[in-house]
Chain A
Amino acid sequence: GESVGLHLPTLSVQEGDNSIINCAYSNSASDYFIWYKQESGKGPQFIIDIRSNMDKRQGQRVTVLLNKTVKHLSLQIAATQPGDSAVYFCAESPGNQFYFGTGTSLTVIP
Chain B
Amino acid sequence: DADVTQTPRNRITKTGKRIMLECSQTKGHDRMYWYRQDPGLGLRLIYYSFDVKDINKGEISDGYSVSRQAQAKFSLSLESAIPNQTALYFCATSEAGTGVEKLFFGSGTQLSVL
A32→B99 contact, CB < 8 A:
yes
Which listed residue (B1, B41, B100, B106) contacts A98, Cβ 8 A?
B100
A46→B104 contact, CB < 8 A:
yes
A97→B48 contact, CB < 8 A:
yes
List residues of chain B with CB within 8 A of the CB of A31: 99
Given contacts A42-B107, A43-B90, A44-B43, contact A1 B59 (CB under 8 A): yes
Task: Tell me, rounded to whole Å, the shortest Cβ–Cβ distance linking A44 to chain B.
Answer: 5
CB within 8 Å: A-B pair count: 55
Number of contacting residues on B, CB 8 A?
Answer: 21
B103 within 8 A of A: yes
Q: Which chain B residues in 58-114 approach chain A with CB under 8 Å?
A: 58-59, 90, 99-100, 102-108
Please give me the residue from chain B that is nearest to A46 by CB atom: B102
A96 within 8 A of B: yes
Given contacts A43-B108, A44-B105, A46-B104, contact A102 B41 (CB under 8 A): yes
Residues of B within 8 A of A (CB): 1, 4, 40-45, 48, 58-59, 90, 99-100, 102-108
Residues of A within 8 A of B (CB): 1, 4, 31-32, 34, 41-46, 49, 89, 91, 93, 95-103
